[in-house]
Structure 1
Amino acid sequence: MNKYLKYGIIIAIVIVAISFLASLQFEKSQDNSGSLPKIKSQAANFTLKNYKGESVSLQDFRGKIIYIKFWASWCKDCVKQVVPQRKLEAAMVSNPNIAFLNISVDSSEDAWKKAVERNKLSAEQLISHDGDEENINKNYDISEIPRYIIIGKSGEILNNNAPHPGEIEAEYFAQFN
């Protein structure tokens, strides 16, 4: 076999091996599952400002199943979930054991308020800014949005990466009662 052909084959094998190892390392670095809040662990309490300027705490909803949406006004995927979430909220309106919290991670309170008005958002609208977002991001590992979390009646995390409203029906919540 030609000497150059041997070197070419060896170089090709080395390149393929390096590419394979690099892709494994990339996949490992993209895996956030190790840092997600653990299922059944107590959800970290927070107190945030709502649309009316009032302080609202996670503790205020003890005794209810809480479906939390983390979103922002500039997030197209978040806005796509507005209609499905409205339908889900409407289907659950008669259930006093379910609470919907929408936590915006907008840096601008004006942008957040305009988005709430423009999209006619209901349920509890909260904003995480002015330092709050650091604790929210750390405690709930909010690395991308939209993100949904379900918290149980006793404050335990039941699902740390819950389905989007368009992916579930009202009956989905029966499993958490």
Structure 2
Amino acid sequence: MKLSDFKGKLVYMDIWATWCGPCVEEIPNMEKLYQHYKDDPRILLVSVSVDSKKNLWEKKLDEDKPQWPQYIVDGALKDKLYNEYIITGIPRFMMFDSEGRIITINAMRPSNGKLIPFIEEQLSKPKEIKGPGGMKMIKLK
């Protein structure tokens, strides 16, 4: 998984693990957020587990049956994720714009009532595109 795989979409990313109580508590809220945006092609919800035991992660997915993309990272990939995005604890929620640029590495949790208005604000922002000769242009919707 690379952020470039999701280019063109606003990405809301959940970093979690099965052993993390607060992470697990947010799963029903992620489900509600997914239901809210599932038909909106402009946004993608992604969950990334940092579990070291893949079987526990698979069991949890089997129980919850989340409908948004699920990934697991370990070893060097996990270290890179933690270092690149300064992750010192989980759950961690991050948001990236449609060009893969960081909006925030400390996004609001799905349980926060202010998250959807914040997402809507991000989705309504005009997109910057490259014009002739690399000139920056703004695409209005």
Find the aligned partners of 1:60 and 1:160 in 2 and give their Cα distance: 18
Q: What is aligned with 1:157?
A: 102
Structure 2 residue 76 is matched with structure 1 residue 131: yes
What does 1:68-87 align with in structure 2 at a 5 Å threshold? Answer: 68-87=13-32
Cα distance, 1:149 vs structure 2: 0.4
Point out the structure with the larger helix share: 1
**Structure 2 counterpart of 1:175, from 83, 102, 121:** 121
Find the aligned partners of 2:20 and 2:118 in 1 and give their Cα distance: 25
User: Where does the alignment leave 5 or more consecutive residues of structure 2 unmatched?
Assistant: 124-141
Find the aligned partners of 2:35 and 2:77 in 1 and give their Cα distance: 30
* Count of paired positions: 122
Q: What is aligned with 2:66?
A: 121
Q: Is the 8 A contact 1:92 1:170 kept in 2?
A: no
Find the aligned partners of 2:17 and 2:67 in 1 and give their Cα distance: 15
Find the aligned partners of 1:134 and 1:59 in 2 and give their Cα distance: 19
TM-score, normalised by the number of residues in structure 1: 0.66
TM-score, normalised by the number of residues in structure 2: 0.82
Question: Letter of the aligned partner of 2:34 in structure 1?
Answer: E
SS at 1:150 equivalent: strand
The C-alpha deviation readout for 1:93-124, integer Å capped at 9, x for no partner, is 11101011101000111111111111222211
Question: Letter of the aligned partner of 2:72 in structure 1?
Answer: I
User: Where does the alignment leave 5 or more consecutive residues of structure 1 unmatched?
Assistant: 1-55
Q: What is aligned with 1:166?
A: 111
SS at 2:39 equivalent: coil
Structure 2 residue 37 is matched with structure 1 residue 92: yes
Q: What is aligned with 1:104?
A: 49
Structure whose CA Rg is larger: 1
Q: RMSD in angstroms over aligned alpha carbons?
A: 1.2
SS at 1:101 equivalent: strand
Cα distance, 1:172 vs structure 2: 2.8
SS at 1:132 equivalent: helix
